[in-house]
Structure 1
């Protein structure tokens, strides 16, 4: 297995926001395990992180059974009830069309740039 297959998630704190970047162009459900992605998010929540940006700028292809839609659903499930805010950024081409078509944006907003996504999740939550 190559490094790109085993190191497909980059998670780092920037400006108080947990940026989770998917570093592969195409997700393979046999290699890029959903539970690994969920654990990355759960570990960040356990460490106290509550602001997340899912950077998908390197993803070039998705299918409808596994890919960015599955990542968004997994993120929603892990972060539900934690008081966390999440946004997606960097989508282009086919992955962006699939994301918008699925209407997930009503739950996890999508921004073209990481800067705008960070600004969104950094806003105070209105009660």
Structure 2
């Protein structure tokens, strides 16, 4: 094999590798896996409306992996930009579990491009000495 053919072969393989990497990276656009966390009021079941809005990607689902649990079950739902909670409240209590909050084809459909924010509250009264900080990874 002469040097021109060898160079062409190397370039073809390199270009194929770049396209394969680029293609796989773009095959799942906008599916963030972001750490999120929050703090709930020490006493009561007060609703906390977090202010960060996100936009649903082509996957059309929202999942939360619960990694830092509070002293009681965490209750979480999604609301739209008007403030209306459009998903049922999901009760989460197991550390390390992944909960599907919304997914097309289920009882809760969420269209691609919909903006949402999180509503959260405790499933019971928490006293000042109890853990009220939650966290995990949000996939959407």
Which structure features the higher share of helix residues?
Answer: 1
Q: TM-score with structure 1 length normalisation?
A: 0.30
Larger Rg: 1 or 2? 2
Which structure features the higher share of strand residues?
Answer: 2
Q: Which has the higher contact order (CA 8 A, sep 6+)?
A: 2
